[in-house]
């Protein structure tokens, strides 16, 4: 669970959390900018971005899964998966020195067959549930980011800590201490206080003439639904991942595989899908190619989302959903500052107070209690 960067050992758990924090802030800002900076008739398709995201994530996951399978194939130089009884030096000594030793036709074939068997395992269908939920969530994210200013989106989206907790209690039969329930109550209250600003200031937003018009209620409904799917999908994925021996990357491949159909439905049958794109208020335009207006910003959104998906999976594996919430709340502070600088966001007192409550509640929620501290010190081997 530790990687060496220029000789400095960095724990993967911490690294994935820091990356997730930065990714969260970057995504919120770039996503919002990519949606509000162009007129509605020049807008790229959100559904296409989601489909592209799943294809790229799937390709990366399958490459990593194949690489791991190949190295674990007998005769590749690696001892097949019994690392505990070997020292790092022994493992390094066993590593193949040359790629042509590893990449023989028969070994590649063997690894391919093994990978196919692992991916289409008897329980692979379990991933179809989070896959559909994440496709819905990823589409809703675009609706939300198109209709809310950066800090409001970020803070409201933090309600997924609440839904994650609720689903953990229901599905994982997790017990929460009174302190954690209190923190969750403050979290909900804090988000409410932030929302007060909408009645006093219209988000403090500079609208570009002809650019996309924001519809706040639509944005808030989208965020609320995305919070539901985020909690359910996250808890479900954790349940499947930690309830079996299958490798993380195999699970990710299965997740992407089952995402393809719903993501494609949203692209090719937009009238059937629940979420009309942000450009819905624009006069109907002729059906465009699916990657029309797919410029630098759209690509940036997709790339940041791909990174986010991979890092989220790592955080769920190496850390947990609770720590994931902490990373998100740090991201609030960062994008709050960015919103002020980049989008002329005007700070109202209720926004400031609400944000403080949310961040404080997140901190309180993440204070481990005695039992957790004990468990963590025993099991923090990545």
Q: Which residues bind ligand C5P (CB under 6 A)?
A: 57, 134, 137-138, 160, 230, 234, 237, 252, 255, 308-309, 312-313, 324
Angle at 6 between CA 4 and CA 10, to 5 degrees: 35
CB of 3 to ligand C5P, least distance (A): 20
CB of 150 to ligand C5P, least distance (A): 16
Q: Which is nearer to ligand C5P, 102 or 144 (CB)?
A: 144
Q: Which is nearer to ligand C5P, 151 or 204 (CB)?
A: 151
CB of 310 to ligand C5P, least distance (A): 7
CB of 67 to ligand C5P, least distance (A): 18
Burial bucket for residue 155 (CB in 10 Å: 0-12, 13-18, 19+):
buried
CB of 123 to ligand C5P, least distance (A): 16
Burial bucket for residue 284 (CB in 10 Å: 0-12, 13-18, 19+):
exposed
CB of 124 to ligand C5P, least distance (A): 14
Q: Which is nearer to ligand C5P, 352 or 382 (CB)?
A: 382
| Residue of 303, 328, 345 whose CA lies nearest to 205 | 345
Q: Which is nearer to ligand C5P, 78 or 258 (CB)?
A: 258
| Residue of 254, 245, 231 whose CA lies nearest to 62 | 254
Phi-psi map region of 77: left, alpha, beta (phi>0 left; psi -120 to 50 alpha)? left
Q: Which is nearer to ligand C5P, 160 or 212 (CB)?
A: 160
Q: How far is CA 329 from CA 159, 177, 267, 369, in A?
A: 10, 21, 32, 20
Taking residue 179's Cβ as centre, other Cβ atoms within 10 Å add up to 12
Hey, what are 126's tokens?
A: 């379990």
Rounded CA separation 134/148 (Å): 20
Closest residue to ligand C5P, judged by C-beta, is 309
Q: Which is nearer to ligand C5P, 236 or 343 (CB)?
A: 236
């Amino acid at each position: 669970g530790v990687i060496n960067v220029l000789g400095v050992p960095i724990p993967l758990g911490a690294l994935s959390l820091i990356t997730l924090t930065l990714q969260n802030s970057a995504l919120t800002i770039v996503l919002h900018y990519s949606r509000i900076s162009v007129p509605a008739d020049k807008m790229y398709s959100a559904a296409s971005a989601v489909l592209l995201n799943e294809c790229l994530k799937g390709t990366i996951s399958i490459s990593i899964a194949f690489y791991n399978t190949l190295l674990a194939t007998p005769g590749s130089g690696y001892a097949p998966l019994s690392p505990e009884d070997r020292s790092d030096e022994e493992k390094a000594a066993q590593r193949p020195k040359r790629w042509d030793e590893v990449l023989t036709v028969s070994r590649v074939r063997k690894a391919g067959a093994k990978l196919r068997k692992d991916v289409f395992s008897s329980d692979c269908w379990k991933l179809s549930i989070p896959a559909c939920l994440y496709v819905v969530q990823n589409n809703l994210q675009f609706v939300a980011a198109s209709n809310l200013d950066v800090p409001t989106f970020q803070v409201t989206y933090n309600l997924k800590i609440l839904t994650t907790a609720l689903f953990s209690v229901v599905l994982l039969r997790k017990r929460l201490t009174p302190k954690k329930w209190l923190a969750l109550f403050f979290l909900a209250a804090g988000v409410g206080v932030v929302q007060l600003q909408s009645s006093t200031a219209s988000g403090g937003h500079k609208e570009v003439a002809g650019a996309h018009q924001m519809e706040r209620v639509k944005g808030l409904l989208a965020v609320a639904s995305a919070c539901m799917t985020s909690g359910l999908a996250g808890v479900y994925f954790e349940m499947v991942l930690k309830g079996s021996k299958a490798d993380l990357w195999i699970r990710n491949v299965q997740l992407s595989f089952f995402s393809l159909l719903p993501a494609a439905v949203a692209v090719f049958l937009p009238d059937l899908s629940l979420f009309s794109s942000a450009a819905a208020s624009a006069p109907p335009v002729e059906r465009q190619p699916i990657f029309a207006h797919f410029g630098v910003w759209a690509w940036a959104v997709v790339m940041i989302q791909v990174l986010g998906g991979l890092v989220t999976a790592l955080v769920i594996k190496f850390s947990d959903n609770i720590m994931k919430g902490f990373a998100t709340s740090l991201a609030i502070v960062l994008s709050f500052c960015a919103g002020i600088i980049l989008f002329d966001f005007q700070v109202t007192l209720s926004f400031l107070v609400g944000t403080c409550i949310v961040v404080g509640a997140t901190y309180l929620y993440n204070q481990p209690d005695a039992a957790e501290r004990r468990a963590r010190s025993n099991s923090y081997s990545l």
